[in-house]
């Protein structure tokens, strides 16, 4: 009997869950979540939560569990986790693949101001008070305490704790996907005149970008960080095909 290959998927994205669902019938899948979201969506496959203790800890886990393949399907902004994954794969001698969804590109009528970090986004708002929609996630919003003159609408999956030390902020708990019509209504209701966003890519959170374009609202876009150069694919389907190529014996592929 041929033993199923063991695959560890470093997740935290919708695509990671979709990929695990596609692979679970033909490989042994473990999905690892960083544990930053308090109530993650049910995954349908075995899940571990929490860190590994850096690259060395992950490498030790790969060895101990005799993992055959590591897949980095973390968020495009989880640069440290991706770096640790690439290093751990080298240390443990385990192949690695990455799921890297394509980023958004500005189109006609977009009003983007691009910055490298959330810290740079705060001064990019300018000195005059503005009504700002922070669609960044709770880990990045603290940087905006440096610009307390603005009114902030802050949306996150989990509560922002502690609250920002600014005089005027409204907090909204919500989990995507967010449709353009809903986002447009949100921006109009709160009279937003600038959106701050990460370039997450994908369709689930693009609604706010399309809505801002339609309303002529500026977007301060935080560029993606540099990520390790490992074999990758932009879609779940393409990466699943790469995994199939890895899993199937050469003879079965007619090689």
Q: Are residues 193 and 128 in the same domain?
A: yes
Residue 107 resides in a domain: no
User: At 33, which CATH number?
Assistant: 3.40.50.720
Quick one: 120 and 96 in the same domain?
Answer: no
Q: Which residue has the tokens 């989880």?
A: 78
Looking at the fold, whether 207 and 119 belong to one and the same domain comes out as yes
User: Are 97 and 64 in a shared domain?
Assistant: yes
167 in a domain, yes or no?
yes
Domain identity same for 20 and 53: yes
Residues 216 and 231 in one domain: no
Q: What's residue 204's pLDDT?
A: 87
In a domain, 94, yes or no: yes
Question: Is the same domain home to 160 and 184?
Answer: yes
Distance CA(226)–CA(55), nearest Å, equals: 18
Which region among 34-48, 55-69, 91-105, 137-151 has the lowest average model confidence (pLDDT)?
Answer: 34-48
pLDDT exceeds cutoff 70 at 165: yes
* pLDDT reported for residue 36: 56
Distance CA(223)–CA(113), nearest Å, equals 10
Q: Are strands 194-198 and 131-135 parallel, antiparallel or unpaired?
A: parallel
Q: Does pLDDT of 252 surpass 70?
A: no
Domain annotation covers residue 20: yes
pLDDT of residue 12: 77
Residue 1 counted as domain residue: no
Q: Are 139 and 75 in contact (CB under 8 A)?
A: no
CA distance 188 to 108: 21
Global pTM value: 0.86
Domain span at 238: 6-102+226-253
Q: Does 60 lie in the same domain as 127?
A: no
Instruction: Please tell me whether residues 84 and 147 are part of one structural domain.
Output: no
Query: For the chain, how many structural domains are there in total?
Result: 2
Inside any domain, residue 230: yes
List pLDDT tens digits, range 123-132.
999 999 999 9
């Amino acid at each position: 009997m041929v033993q199923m290959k063991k695959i560890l998927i470093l997740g935290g994205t919708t695509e990671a869950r979709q990929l695990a669902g596609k692979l679970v019938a033909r490989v042994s899948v473990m999905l690892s979540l960083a544990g930053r979201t308090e109530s993650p969506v049910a995954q349908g496959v075995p899940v571990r939560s929490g860190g590994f203790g850096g690259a060395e800890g992950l490498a030790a886990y790969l060895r101990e569990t005799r993992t055959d393949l590591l897949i980095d399907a973390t968020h495009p902004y989880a640069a440290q986790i991706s770096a640790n994954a690439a290093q751990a794969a080298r240390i443990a001698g385990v192949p690695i693949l990455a799921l890297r969804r394509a980023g958004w590109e500005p189109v006609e009528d977009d009003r983007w101001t691009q910055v490298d970090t959330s810290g740079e986004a705060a001064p990019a708002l300018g000195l005059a008070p503005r009504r700002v929609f922070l669609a960044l996630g709770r880990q990045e919003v603290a940087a905006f305490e440096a610009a307390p003159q603005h009114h902030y609408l802050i949306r996150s999956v989990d509560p922002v704790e502690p609250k920002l030390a600014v005089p005027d902020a409204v907090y909204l708990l919500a989990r995507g996907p967010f449709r353009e019509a809903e986002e447009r209504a949100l921006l109009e209701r709160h009279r937003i005149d600038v959106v701050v966003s990460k370039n997450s890519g994908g369709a689930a959170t693009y609604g706010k970008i399309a809505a801002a374009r339609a309303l002529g609202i500026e977007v301060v876009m935080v560029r993606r960080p540099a990520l390790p150069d490992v074999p990758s694919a932009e879609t779940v389907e393409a990466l699943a095909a790469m995994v199939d190529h890895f899993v199937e014996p050469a003879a079965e592929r007619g090689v």
